[in-house]
Structure 1
Amino acid sequence: MMAPKPGERERRSLAQPVETRADGERMTVAGYAAIFGEVTMVGDLFEETIAPGTFARSLRGDDIRAFYDHDTALVLGRNRAGTLRLAEDARGLSVEIDLPDTTAGRDVRTLIARGDVSGMSFGFEAVGEEWDFTRALPRRTITDVNLFEVSIVSIPAYAGTSIALRSLECARRSDTRSFLPATRLRMKMSLDLARRS
């Protein structure tokens, strides 16, 4: 197996119920794209967790966008435009997206309000990670990333297992706790829809 090529992405998906609340005219989706310390199974290959501080460097300067279903044609927000706000707090990666008055924005708002869509994932390249092979299943702790995007997703599902397997095999061969170049998409735990004036 070969190590992942730059730009290859895996998707991690989890979903929980979505809450909606009204507060003015502007519609804002808010929630968490990642929860620190939460253990996720990647296929049946390994466990994965995200350490506090993982996003700090990237949030200081990366140009990050919000999409619907990872579709770059369906832009919902951008941090440099102020329509996407991202921050690390004690819990994880906090996300707020001011939905645009576009077909995609209105559709996403309606789907979340109806309960049809309840998940978010994020795309990143791991630039700092540690592997623990002393456990029954290896555990990967991600410590630093280049964050590319967050997405509101319609189908929470796992994908990209072959890329995950290559990451695991590469880590075993290197027998180090250094970083491996791999892009990841992780699921958020919850969304809520808010109207803001």
Structure 2
Amino acid sequence: MPDNTISGFAARFGDETIIAGEFREKLAPGAFARTLKEKPDVVMLLDHDSGRVLGRVAAGTLTLREDRIGLWFSLDVDATTPEGQTALGTVGRQDVRGCSFGFRVRAEEWQDGGDRLPLRIITDVDLYEITLTAFPAYPTTSASLAHTNASAVARRVRMRAEMEQKLRGIA
């Protein structure tokens, strides 16, 4: 049985994408470090829609962490809301399996692309929101529904029941 947690990577370091057909872009490791250290009140949305809030750092329903791969998140979804039901359903079916993020660039570097598009390397951002989306600008982002291992849970329940029965002399 699935629980109500969605997790994944809202951004991945080093993966390139093309922005508006004009330039290539990638995120440098550490791009989120400053903003996360300052503990901003980042929200998680559906499709960048501020009317469809799924969670928020300040409320304790959204956890963000930068690791060697990128910006990892864990979202405790409220299944009693229409947005929560939509998120659990679409991510659970993998109709939605990517993320995006809303930010302001604080620091960047540019490299001439030669015969390719120029490359923007983002090194520091102000992060405002992350979002679940079917069409992420960075296709290597991820979102998936956490699942409990039902067979392991069932095995533990059965073992405990058997132990209780033995303690009571029930065979």
Task: Provide the TM-score with structure 1 as the length reference.
Answer: 0.68
State the match for 2:100 in structure 1.
Answer: 121
CA gap of 1:114–1:134, structure 2 versus 1, over 3 A, is closer
In the TM superposition, residue 191 of structure 1 has moved relative to its aligned partner by: 1.3
State the match for 1:191 in structure 2.
Answer: 143
CA RMSD of superposed structures (Å): 1.9
CA gap of 1:78–1:187, structure 2 versus 1, over 3 A, is farther
Which has the larger Rg? 2
Cα pair 1:30 1:95 within 8 Å, conserved: yes
CA gap of 1:27–1:67, structure 2 versus 1, over 3 A, is same
Q: Of residues 127, 141, 146 in structure 1, which corresponds to 2:126?
A: 146
Q: Number of residue pairs matched?
A: 145
The answer to whether the aligner puts 1:112 opposite 2:112 as a matched pair is no
Runs of 4+ in 1 over 3 A off after TM superposition: none
In the TM superposition, residue 188 of structure 1 has moved relative to its aligned partner by: 5.7
Q: What percent identity do the matched residue pairs reach?
A: 41
Q: Distance between the aligned counterparts of 1:89 and 1:119, measured in 2?
A: 18
Cα pair 2:98 2:136 within 8 Å, conserved: no
In the TM superposition, residue 125 of structure 1 has moved relative to its aligned partner by: 0.2
Task: Provide the TM-score with structure 2 as the length reference.
Answer: 0.78
| Structure 2 stretches lacking a partner, 5+ long | 149-171
Q: Distance between the aligned counterparts of 1:132 and 1:124, measured in 2?
A: 21
In the TM superposition, residue 114 of structure 1 has moved relative to its aligned partner by: 2.1
| Structure 1 stretches lacking a partner, 5+ long | 1-20, 159-185
The answer to whether the aligner puts 1:88 opposite 2:66 as a matched pair is yes
In the TM superposition, residue 115 of structure 1 has moved relative to its aligned partner by: 2.5
